[in-house]
Amino acid sequence: MIDINLIRTNPDLVRENIKKKYQDSKLPLVDEVLKLDTENRNLKSEGDTLRAKRNTLSTTIGGLMKEKKIDEANKIKAEVSAINDRIKEIEKNEEELVEKIRKIMLTIPNIIDKSVPIGKDDSENVEIEKFGEPRVPEYEIPYHADILATFDALDKESAGRTSGNGFYYLIGDGARLVSAMISYARDFMIDKGFTYCLPPFMIRGDVVNGVMSFAEMDAMMYKIEGEDLYLIGTSEHSMIGKFKGQIINENALPITMTSYSPCFRKEVGAHGIEERGIYRVHQFEKQEMVVLCKPEESMDWYNKMWSYSVELFRSLDIPVRTLECCSGDLADLKVKSCDIEAWSPRQKKYFEVCSCSTLGDAQARRLNIRAKGEKGNYYLHTLNNTVLASTRALIALLENNYNADGSVNIPVALQKYMGGKKVITPFKK
């Protein structure tokens, strides 16, 4: 959510930003906010004038009562009563206008960074840099579900019976490998100075509205029937929500945390969720990184955070590239974002495994998270990035470490989490 003062002082900038995000249908919202804001400010001014007049009249009533001028005092009391009725009406109208303005402000996109490339959708995202040499071996790389099947490591059929499409059982070395990757990602971030956290896996509706846009919420979140609770789609949601309504001493900044959680996603619009594979599913595990910092430090943290993801995947022998998200591909709260994509030797292309974003003070404004500095209180900047998402990281690892004989090498970084095991070999039927 942007500062309403920006709409008051520079509405053209807000309109231009809406156009850059190809959301022209939202352009009338700027004028609507300005109109409602003017009404609200006029009401506030009237209310302040009436309160001042009421105070003066109350003083006058006191003087008349002392002078025993009861009739004159009663006339003024009637006037004060009418003023009180009008003030109540004004306060009710102000409350309604503030709520209307807030609802509209929640749908106006955040101001994107000047460096963000302009484009309609993800097809116009821009490659920044490649890390590691993409390799396509002479032998065929099977589909990841088929690789897992040779280890008896994936059971989608049973999951379909228990939970439906989009769920899975990981078994044996498949499950162990995911746990190893998550544990390694946790320790990797702790070594970077981040504090490890296990957050709540459900959050209230006001926190959901604070961390994401309505469109994202509808497409992602599962609601608990009969309760004001949602299953988290990523631990960033509850990690940022942890600071809702708080004023943080500036000396405690930056706050850097890494959190583990299962993630639950409806995946609305993901038609035909894969029957066999685990690329797009309703549930997975994730290690996340979250930063709360001073506004002037947020871009430095953004660059550090995506570089950590690159470093981690390269340590698992997986080539990656960074992709700058264009304006039309940015969620409404985001200022700047990039995807980290892993190389798929089977498909001979890259696919998304991480997403790093800075949201400016948008989440902090929605959740009223501030810092206390020498010059007063101010809204913090929030950032988040995937350290490792279990299913997609597993796919990347399997494909990039697959051998001609069907075995899969376990990267050195993971071997201690696998009990010293160096390779996974197919079961012999």
Distance CA 393, CA 400 (A): 11
- Quickly tell me which residue has 């032998």 as its tokens: 139
In this prediction, residue 427 carries a pLDDT of 85
Distance CA 15, CA 22 (A): 11
Cis peptide leading into residue 295 (ω within 30°)? no
3-state secondary structure the chain: CCCHHHHHHCHHHHHHHHHHCCCHHHHHHHHHHHHHHHHHHHHHHHHHHHHHHHHHHHHHHHHHHHCCCHHHHHHHHHHHHHHHHHHHHHHHHHHHHHHHHHHHHCCCCCCCCCCCCCCCCHHHCEEEEEECCCCCCCCCCCCHHHHHHHCCCEEHHHHHHHCCCCCCEECCHHHHHHHHHHHHHHHHHHHCCCEEECCCCEECHHHHHHHCCHHHHHHHCEECCCCCCEECCCCHHHHHHCCCCCEEEHHHCCEEEEEEEEEECCCCCCCCCCCCCCCCCCEEEEEEEEEEECHHHHHHHHHHHHHHHHHHHHCCCCCEEEEECCHHHCCCCCCEEEEEEEEECCCCEEEEEEEEEECCCHHHHHHCCEEEECCEEEECEEEEEEEEEHHHHHHHHHHHCECCCCCEECCHHHHHHHCCCCEECCCCC
- Quickly tell me which residue has 């749908």 as its tokens: 107
In this prediction, residue 272 carries a pLDDT of 53
pTM, 2 dp: 0.89
Distance CA 288, CA 260 (A): 6
Contact 277, 145 (CB under 8 A): yes
In this prediction, residue 1 carries a pLDDT of 82
Domains and CATH numbers, the chain: 4-105 (1.10.287.40), 122-424 (3.30.930.10)
- Quickly tell me which residue has 């280890």 as its tokens: 151
In this prediction, residue 273 carries a pLDDT of 55
In this prediction, residue 185 carries a pLDDT of 98
In this prediction, residue 405 carries a pLDDT of 95
Find the distance separating the first CA and the last CA of the chain, reported in whole Å: 58
Structure tokens at 81: 């009563």
Tens digits of pLDDT across the chain (429 residues): 899 999 999 999 999 999 999 999 999 999 999 999 999 999 999 999 999 999 999 889 888 888 888 888 888 898 999 999 999 999 999 999 999 999 999 999 999 999 999 999 999 999 999 999 999 999 999 999 999 999 999 999 999 999 998 999 999 999 999 999 999 999 999 999 999 999 999 999 999 999 987 777 777 899 999 999 999 999 999 999 999 999 999 999 999 999 999 999 997 555 555 567 999 999 999 999 999 999 999 999 999 999 999 999 999 999 999 999 999 999 999 999 999 999 999 999 999 999 999 999 999 999 999 999 988 999 999 999 999 999 999 999 999 999 999 999 999 999 999 999 999 999 865
Q: In 3D, which of 290, 251, 256, 248 has the Cα closest to residue 378?
A: 248
Q: Residues of 252-290 as b/e, b for ≥16 C-beta within 10 angstroms? A: ebbbbbbbbbebbbbeeeeeeebeebbbebbbbbbbbbb
Distance CA 163, CA 155 (A): 12
